[in-house]
Amino acid sequence: MRVSVHASIRSAIERSAAVVLGVLVAVAIGNTLGLNTLTVGLLTSGSLAFALLVLRLPRPAATQIPVSALVVMAALAAGEQSYAWERAFDTVLGAAVGVVVSLALPASRRDDARGAMRQLGTVISAELDAMGEGLGATWSTSQTAEWRHTARLTRQRLVEQMTEAVGNGREAAQWNIRDRAHAAELGRYEDVMPRLERTAIGVWAIARGLEDHARLTGGEHRPMEAMAALLVSLGDLVRVFTEEVLGDHPDGGVPRAVQEVNARRAPCARAAHRQTLEGPPQEADGAGGVGPEWMSYSALLVQVDRIVDDLRAPLPT
């Protein structure tokens, strides 16, 4: 059995076919080859390579071919002639029972999808809030290393959890009587999932850029109030976007959050542009950092723009 009915049916077919194929291989060569180190090695590697490279079976199903072949050959060598077909019958029967149970008592993907998406949006927003709060005072490589580490874990683990929970929402709903009424909602999560994944990657890129720049400035950096406010507003945008996708926030919140991000971005962009044209001044640029350092923050603004462009697009209906 698998989480979704569709996955249970696919797994049942793949595993049953692999076991039956392994039994046929064992029956075909069981009386001609004896079990020894050489035959076991050749049979195991050859059947596994055939299943993975030729039949393109997933690894859990592919391993059933060499396992079934070896077990059946051992049984035949011990004189248990009927074991081969008993193993095939038991496998098919167990797969059929799993499919029937999945069809009769399916697990709903909707709750898992909502929970995983809400968790990802909440964590990304918290990461941006933490970076914004940190930039508001003197910040160092110890802080940026923690930001980058947290963002990397989010990009890897939480995105993977969300991808697994959402899956192919529309397709899964067709096989699930509990989720059939929520097919449109699951389809919306499926469409939005790549946008949140790219947002997580963008936040990790921002954290990595801050860490690289902190190292270049000797391990500590002066407060950057303008950039801090920008990251906090970006975190609010991610939070509103996620809540609006899940239906927990009234429509129209995303455009207002985008306006706030653009307002916070303006002083950062002006400072970076001014320093690009005028070169390094002797005083702070008034936007929260030292003039020449703002040129290297253009990459951070690019990442912010990419996230905003992804989240400001209309939500799927």
Mapped to the 3 state alphabet, what secondary structure does 165-194 carry? Answer: HHCCHHHHHHHCCCCHHHHHHHHHHHHHHH
Q: What is the band of 283 on the pLDDT scale with cuts at 50, 70, 90?
A: very low
Q: Quick one: pLDDT at residue 286?
A: 40
Mean pLDDT of 70-98: 85
Q: Tell me the one-letter amino acid at 133.
A: E
pLDDT > 70: what percent of the chain? 84
User: How far apart (Å, rounded) are the C-alpha atoms in residues 228 and 224?
Assistant: 6
pLDDT digits (tens, 9 = 90+) for 216-243: 777 788 888 988 999 999 999 999 999 9
Mean pLDDT of 138-155: 92
Q: Does 199 score more than 90 pLDDT?
A: yes
Contact 177, 106 (CB under 8 A): yes
Q: Does 180 score more than 70 pLDDT?
A: no
Q: Does 25 score more than 70 pLDDT?
A: yes
Q: Quick one: pLDDT at residue 12?
A: 87
> Best-predicted range by mean pLDDT among 36-45, 149-158, 213-222, 280-289?
149-158
Q: Does 316 score more than 50 pLDDT?
A: yes
Q: Rounded to 5 degrees, what are φ and ψ at 7?
A: -65, -35
What CATH number belongs to 109-312? 1.20.58.220
Q: Tell me the one-letter amino acid at 131.
A: M
Q: Does 108 score more than 80 pLDDT?
A: no
User: How far apart (Å, rounded) are the C-alpha atoms in residues 191 and 48?
Assistant: 36
**Sign of the torsion angle spanned by Cα atoms 113, 115, 118, 119:** negative
> Best-predicted range by mean pLDDT among 31-45, 174-188, 260-274?
260-274
pLDDT > 90: what percent of the chain? 30
Q: Rounded to 5 degrees, what are φ and ψ at 220?
A: -130, 155
Residue 103 to residues 95, 98, 239, Cα–Cα distance (Å): 12, 9, 36
Q: Tell me how far the alpha carbon of residue 112 is from its chain's centroid.
A: 14
Domain ranges of the chain: 5-104, 109-312
Q: Quick one: pLDDT at residue 284?
A: 40
Contact 128, 235 (CB under 8 A): yes
218 or 169: which leads in pLDDT: 218
Residue 47: count other Cβ atoms within 10 Å of its Cβ. 24
Q: Quick one: pLDDT at residue 28?
A: 82
Residue 168: count other Cβ atoms within 10 Å of its Cβ. 15
206 or 26: which leads in pLDDT: 206
**Sign of the torsion angle spanned by Cα atoms 241, 243, 246, 248:** negative
User: How far apart (Å, rounded) are the C-alpha atoms in residues 21 and 51?
Assistant: 10
Q: Quick one: pLDDT at residue 300?
A: 87
